Amino acid sequence: MFYRILYLLAVLIIGTTQTQAKDVKAYIFGNSLVHHLSDSDETTVPHWLHVLAKSAGHGFAVDGQWGFLRNFSEDLPPKSAWSFKQVPRVWTPKQGDFAKAGFDLVMINSANFIQDRPADRATAWKNPTGRTPLQDSLVVLDWVAKADPRPVFYIYQGWQDMSEQFKKAQTNADLADYYDNAKTGYFKWYQHWAKAIAKARPDYEVRLIPVAKHLATLFTDTPLAEIPVADLYIDDAPHGTPTLYFLAAAITYTAFYDEPIPTDIPLPDSIHPLVRDNLDVINKVVLGVKHSAVQPAGDGLGLSNPALAMGLNGIADWSTENPFIDLMKTARPWVGHMPGKWGAKTAQELQEGGYLDAAGWPTKIPEGLSAIETFILTDQPKDSASIAGVYRLTYVGEGEVSVGGRASLLSAQKGKIRFRYQPGEGPVGIAILKTDPNGNGNYIRNIQIVHEDHIALHQMGALFNPDWIKLVQDLRVLRFMDWMHTNGSPVMGWEQRPKPDDYSYTRRGVPVEVMVKLVNQIGADPWFNMPHMADDDYVRNFATYVKENLAPDLYAYVEYSNELWNFTFGQAHWAAQQAEQRWGKDAAPDAWLQFAGMRAAEVAQIWSSAFDDQAEQRLVRVIATHTGWMGLEEGLLNAPLYLAENSSNIEPISWFDAYAVTGYFGLELGMDEMAPTVLEWIEDSHKQAEQAGKEQGLARVSLREYVKKHGDAAAIPKAIAALRQGSLDELLTVLLPYHAKIARQNGLKLVMYEGGTHVTGLADWSNNQRLTDFFHKLNYSPGMAEIYSELLQGWRAAGGSLFNAFVDVSAPSQYGSWGTWRYLGDENPRADVLAQFNQTTPAWWGKRAPDAFLHGGFYQGTAGGDEMRGTGKADIMLGGAGDDRFFAAGPGDLIHGGAGVDHVTFPGKAADYVIEAADGMIEVTGPGLSARLFAVEKMIFADEPERGRATSDY
């Protein structure tokens, strides 16, 4: 709900539209960043809003009050205290009912020095009651909504506290870090606040006005950067001059009136001349409109030098990652049912019996079976709101398909089924009851299951769920170990590889084509894990595909298998067998790892050969060791048994660029040594919570609910202290320094292949529900976020480079709390710390192309005619019902015109491009640019605009 609400503002300002006169009546809960009381109204946003509105032929009236969020919530009903010489008022409490005033909007602001903690956590400043900004703002908005449900709610992003920076700064360049924070971490706080409000109150219309973010852009990337600091700020609060408040009002005006500010407005001398001379530039920054009709919207979006990597969770019907638009790609392997007997035949038996085609679709139902079924969306968290809704299932072929489980059937016809889904316990079942009834080979196949919100994306050929893309698009590296089914992989030859048209990627992993498409789309380096039994031909073909298709500014990390030291996995046993066959049973205690090092070096050589002269620059060849077993790496890196075979053999370590370790901590809490103690902490904590509840007069249900909520409160700090004094300390002071030394001695970068909390019950302790429940709370607690912060700092201090968190999205279970996010839409302190680190800590190792990690945007139009401009990266642009104008600029743009008569403008001339019709779309390919067009009627080429081309001609 939040993304849809908040995105509305971005959509409305894509292009400019002609509007009729509009009167706005506003009530503002604000502070001195909205209304700074001075000897002139020019240091207030409302004054300039009135000036701008009047110049544009609109009306503006306002009432408001000063205070902090807690004042607003404690002092209800509203107490209008503002007045201005020129701005009309709407209402005062003396006039009676607030609802009768007829306010169109209510705007709320927070203090600008509380952003060190998320909005749903208690502020540290003068807060004896422990209230949060979210709680206080909800009290205010709830009161308003109850009094009058009509107003739209706006959140005003005032600029942040400047403190000591004000004393030293003379030019805006001196405030570069201040402005960068306004656009990243500080802005994210407001996004989180707005999202939390919308999540708590989904029926409210909530819009965020990014005032500080746009001011930062104006003062760094436009002629306004030349304005002296003294002409903008008057103190370190920082209060400002009329120029600053005019600019804040200009940004706010575009939100209130959905149009640019008037540029023919006469402004007084109190406004800096660079502002008066660049009103069009202000519009272009705030509205996102660029100078030239064909100029792209910059090189790309996102972080230019991120420092964080993540492993991607394995593909499964119960995974909460849900990365694909077509949910069939995460469906469970087929299972065959007999009448009255569930699960009579497995997918493997169907495959071995010849009942599946090359892509895995059943060609017939074996005799004796009543159905062949698969499952999607199994046991998804109820809070995972984005996956709820109506789905469209389509298929080709003859037969009968049904849906069941959590699917509520809406309609069914040949080739198409519509059903409604609500997350919760259990799966959605997709059953083939009959197939190819006429025996002519037209069996049920190509089942595709798409949320109705994503149908337009699917029509264009988009693969990835935009709600998931938002989480991973600013990462530096994606490790594909689980996506590739690395652990225990049966793959030996290239013919066994997964294919893009496989019915589900649970079958044999995600194809290389899809993984490369993902990293190219978001601008991230891929980390591939080669199957342990893969032959040279497989490795060579894989490497060649990556070299030829990976975006040229991206690097490829390559690792042989995963954790070959770990006998939990089949690859370690296989390596031991190979070592014994090669060198004999008692050749060396670490013979299996010597073999692993030797084969890893061979794989690295094959990749190097495939990349040829690009290998040294674009390859990161990784060798990984057991972090906690110091010394075990010697056989892996040096392989003396292999060296003894031939004097020309060289140490495996010679072929690698990076030495990889883990960054795990917390194993001890779930083991025999400490698990009983943890249970004692939990018991004592629950007793304390029960006593506290009784002292508050609670009993029965209310007491049980209180204990349920607060029962672990006293135990969590004890667990955090134990981690800090135990495995975290050992990791940071012993293990990582040791491995950093090994890396330095061998001239390698120290990287992390996995890391984070390993707090989970082990062996029989995994079946202890009380322990499991506690670990889930602990792993996503503020205390755990503090541990992550210390880990990140300690990793860098020890000499580490790339930090790799395990994993992106995964629901906690008895086997661990591995997900940074528990589901799409989740927010938690641990994820916040990782995101903040990525946003505020540029990678401190190596140099890369300035736009290598940038990505394109996802733009969605309105019912009117919109103008959308792409970046220099792959953009997705969705038009609405109006006549839309698109400007393509990057490689891999996807453009859907929607209804109306739409056209796309390309740079250059038509002769520069190859234009072809394919799969119901138009594919346009030219120098440095490509696009796929769907429901677009016309193409225009900037150098010959009079020679437009109709897409119907192709």
Using 50, 70 and 90 to split pLDDT, how confident is the model at 793? very high
Q: Residue 19 has what pLDDT? A: 44
Torsion, Cα 93 95 99 105, to 10 degrees, reads: -70
Using 50, 70 and 90 to split pLDDT, how confident is the model at 123? confident
In this predicted structure, the answer to whether residue 291 has a pLDDT above a threshold of 80 is: no
* Backbone torsions φ then ψ of 447, nearest 5 degrees: -70, 130
In this predicted structure, the answer to whether residue 84 has a pLDDT above a threshold of 90 is: yes
Q: In whole angstroms, what is the distance from residue 95 CA to residue 113 CA?
A: 35
Residues 331 and 446 sit within 8 Å (Cβ to Cβ): no
Residues 840 and 184 sit within 8 Å (Cβ to Cβ): yes
Residues in the chain: 954
Cα Rg, the chain, nearest whole Å: 30
The strand pairing partners of 893, in sequence order, are 931
In this predicted structure, the answer to whether residue 295 has a pLDDT above a threshold of 50 is: no
Using 50, 70 and 90 to split pLDDT, how confident is the model at 118? confident
Residues 511 and 498 sit within 8 Å (Cβ to Cβ): yes
Question: In a 3-state reduction of DSSP, which class is residue 305?
Answer: coil
Q: Residue 866 has what pLDDT? A: 85
| Average pLDDT rounded to a whole number, residues 418-446 | 98
Q: For the purposes of burial, counting CB atoms within 10 Å of the CB of 509, is it exposed (0-12), middle (13-18) or buried (19 or more)?
A: buried
Pairing of strands 749-757, 658-665: parallel
Q: What is the DSSP letter of 387?
A: G
CA distances from 293 to 206, 880, 887 (A): 32, 21, 8
Q: Give 857-871 pLDDT, tens digit per residue.
A: 999 888 778 889 889
Q: Give 235-248 pLDDT, tens digit per residue.
A: 988 999 999 999 99
Q: Residue 298 has what pLDDT? A: 61
CA distances from 900 to 123, 942, 954 (A): 50, 22, 19
Q: Give 896-937 pLDDT, tens digit per residue.
A: 999 889 999 999 999 999 999 998 999 999 988 999 999 999
Q: Which amino acid is at 503?
A: Y
Residues 427 and 379 sit within 8 Å (Cβ to Cβ): yes
Question: In a 3-state reduction of DSSP, which class is residue 405?
Answer: strand
**Nearby residues of 873 by Cβ (< 8 Å), 6 or more positions away:** 299, 300, 301, 523, 851, 854, 855, 856, 890, 891
The angle formed by the CA atoms of residues 384, 387 and 390, to the nearest 5 degrees, is 140
Would you put residue 509 in left (φ > 0), alpha (ψ -120 to 50) or beta? left
Chain mean pLDDT for the chain? 92
Using 50, 70 and 90 to split pLDDT, how confident is the model at 15? very low
Q: In whole angstroms, what is the distance from residue 708 CA to residue 690 CA?
A: 9
Q: Give 619-671 pLDDT, tens digit per residue.
A: 999 999 999 999 999 999 999 999 999 999 999 999 999 999 999 999 999 99
Contacts for 41-46 with beta carbons within 8 Å, 24 or more apart?
41/84, 41/85, 41/86, 41/87, 42/242, 42/245, 42/246, 42/268, 42/270, 43/239, 43/240, 43/241, 43/242, 43/245, 44/84, 44/245, 45/245, 45/248, 45/249, 45/252, 46/82, 46/84, 46/87, 46/249
Q: Give 195-224 pLDDT, tens digit per residue.
A: 888 878 877 888 889 999 999 999 988 999
- Residue % of the chain over a pLDDT of 70: 97
Q: Which amino acid is at 637?
A: L
- Residue % of the chain over a pLDDT of 90: 79
Torsion, Cα 540 544 550 551, to 10 degrees, reads: 140
- Biggest CA-to-CA distance, the chain: 97
Pairing of strands 658-665, 619-624: parallel
In this predicted structure, the answer to whether residue 4 has a pLDDT above a threshold of 70 is: no
Instruction: Supply the DSSP string of 763-793, one letter for each residue.
Output: GGGGG-HHHHHHHHHHHTSHHHHHHHHHHHH
Residues 313 and 818 sit within 8 Å (Cβ to Cβ): yes
Residues 572 and 563 sit within 8 Å (Cβ to Cβ): yes
Burial 300-337 (b: 16+ CB within 10 A, else e): bbbbbebbbbbbbbbbbbbbbbbbbbbbbbbbbbbbbb
Question: In a 3-state reduction of DSSP, which class is residue 311?
Answer: strand
Q: In whole angstroms, what is the distance from residue 210 CA to residue 207 CA?
A: 10
Q: In whole angstroms, what is the distance from residue 707 CA to residue 713 CA?
A: 10
Q: Residue 287 has what pLDDT? A: 67
**Nearby residues of 590 by Cβ (< 8 Å), 6 or more positions away:** 632, 634, 635, 636
Q: Which residue has the higher pLDDT, 71 or 546?
A: 546
Q: Give 154-193 pLDDT, tens digit per residue.
A: 999 999 988 777 777 888 888 988 888 888 889 889 988 9
Q: In whole angstroms, what is the distance from residue 439 CA to residue 341 CA?
A: 26
Residues 35 and 64 sit within 8 Å (Cβ to Cβ): yes
Q: What is the DSSP letter of 262?
A: P
Q: Residue 404 has what pLDDT? A: 97
Question: In a 3-state reduction of DSSP, which class is residue 296?
Answer: coil
CA 734 to chain centre: 34
Residues 772 and 824 sit within 8 Å (Cβ to Cβ): no
Alpha-helical (H) ranges within 201-241 are 211-221
Q: Which amino acid is at 772?
A: T
Could you tell me the two tokens for 553? 């500014």
Q: Give 620-632 pLDDT, tens digit per residue.
A: 999 999 999 999 9
Q: In whole angstroms, what is the distance from residue 905 CA to residue 867 CA?
A: 11
| Average pLDDT rounded to a whole number, residues 342-369 | 96
Q: Which residue has the higher pLDDT, 563 or 11?
A: 563
Question: In a 3-state reduction of DSSP, which class is residue 391?
Answer: strand
Question: In a 3-state reduction of DSSP, which class is residue 923?
Answer: strand
Burial 64-74 (b: 16+ CB within 10 A, else e): bbbbbbbebbe
Instruction: Supply the DSSP string of 19-40, one letter for each residue.
Output: ----EEEEEEEE-TTTB--SSS
Q: State the DSSP H helix or E strand holding residue 469, giving kind and residue range, or none if neither.
A: helix 466-472
Nearest to 512 by CA among 524, 530, 492, 532: 530
Q: In whole angstroms, what is the distance from residue 220 CA to residue 336 CA?
A: 63
Q: Give 40-76 pLDDT, tens digit per residue.
A: 999 999 999 999 999 999 999 999 999 999 899 998 9
Pairing of strands 885-887, 867-869: parallel
Question: In a 3-state reduction of DSSP, which class is residue 560?
Answer: strand
| Average pLDDT rounded to a whole number, residues 381-402 | 97
In this predicted structure, the answer to whether residue 948 has a pLDDT above a threshold of 80 is: yes
Q: Strand locations in 724-846, DSSP E?
A: 749-757, 803-806
Q: In whole angstroms, what is the distance from residue 449 CA to residue 376 CA?
A: 9
Q: In whole angstroms, what is the distance from residue 506 CA to residue 504 CA?
A: 5
Nearest to 78 by CA among 61, 91, 59: 91
In this predicted structure, the answer to whether residue 293 has a pLDDT above a threshold of 70 is: no
Q: In whole angstroms, what is the distance from residue 265 CA to residue 194 CA?
A: 33
Q: In whole angstroms, what is the distance from residue 6 CA to residue 120 CA?
A: 18
Q: In whole angstroms, what is the distance from residue 582 CA to residue 597 CA?
A: 14
